[in-house]
Amino acid sequence: MRPTYPLKLAILLALLLALLLPALPAAAAPDYQGGTHVVQRGETLSQIARRYGVSMAALAQANGISNPNFIYSGQRLTIPGASGGASSGGSATSGVHVVRAGENLSSIAARYGVSMAALAQANGIANPNHIYVGQRLTIGSGSAAAAQPAAAQPAASQTTASQPAASSGRWIDINLSSQTLTAYEGSTPVFSTLVSTGSTFPTPVGTYSILYHVQSQRMTGPGYDLPNVPWVMYFTNRGHAIHGAYWHNNFGQPMSHGCVNMRPEEAQWLYDFTPNGAQVVVHY
């Protein structure tokens, strides 16, 4: 007896599926560019780690995050083992790493499987607690790293600041050359971000202390009148302050009248982190 039409159709469909299924691609990995993930509102470090199949500890270490409960919207996270980064295991081959905001020498050394001492020696770094955003570090493995030519260090006008004498406390480093602010707990950097310092009216260089906090206030001056400026911390008696800036998003470029502009959510974190009397080091 000949197969009926519905049976013929079922047989044809089964044959077609048998031909097509082996050719179907495997589930695609999460799509990201350059080995980084931009944090979205509401995401946690644990969720991001699961998405990319890495441990939360490895993700925190690769990005110099000492408090895994604090990440912020817009933060760019390096994904360990991602394209453009180091492999997830073993020693790195020789190459160059460009320092990103939030990284420290310890986390970079761990990422590439080299010792911090070898990495510091290979790049002529006398103080391993001070590297800067945009610095190019020569990467090698073991003793081979020391044989690599040292990466260019900042010029004399761009040297990083000395660590304050009160090294056990909290303090803030502001680098006018790289337009970055880094918060320290003793000698350990716990937070780093791009800021906007003075343009026409420069932010003064020197060592200061946080004088007092103001949660929100109106700021006025030549050409500006800004209500509800948030999370203000004054560090000079001439009115220079670190504060949130909601009126622009051009961080990394000098924009202010001498103050230090931060993203409001980052300014709030720094406001809560920094006590009155904490030292503020401003330098090129």
Whole-Å CA distances, 204 to 77, 99, 218, 235, 280: 31, 26, 22, 10, 11
Where are the CATH 3.10.350.10 domain residues in the chain? 32-85, 91-153
Q: Round to whole Å and give the CA distance between 19 and 26.
A: 16
Q: Round to whole Å and give the CA distance between 95 and 97.
A: 7
Q: Coil, strand or helix: which one is 176?
A: coil
Vertex 45: Cα angle to 186 and 136 (nearest 5):
60
Q: For residue range 230-240, what is the model confidence (pLDDT) as tens digits?
A: 999 999 999 99
The hierarchical CATH code for the domain 157-283 is: 2.40.440.10
Non-local (6+) Cβ contacts of 155 within 8 A are none
Q: For residue range 212-268, what is the model confidence (pLDDT) as tens digits?
A: 999 999 999 888 899 999 999 999 999 999 999 999 999 999 999 999 999 999 999
CATH class of 32-85: alpha beta
By the 8 A CB rule, do 229 and 218 touch?
A: yes
Return the pLDDT at 77.
Answer: 82
The CATH H-level (homologous superfamily) assignment of domain 91-153 is LysM domain (3.10.350.10)
Return the pLDDT at 237.
Answer: 93
Q: Taking all residues of the chain, what is their mean pLDDT, rounded to a whole number? A: 76
Helix (H) or strand (E) holding 33: none
Find where tokens 């406390």 sit: 169
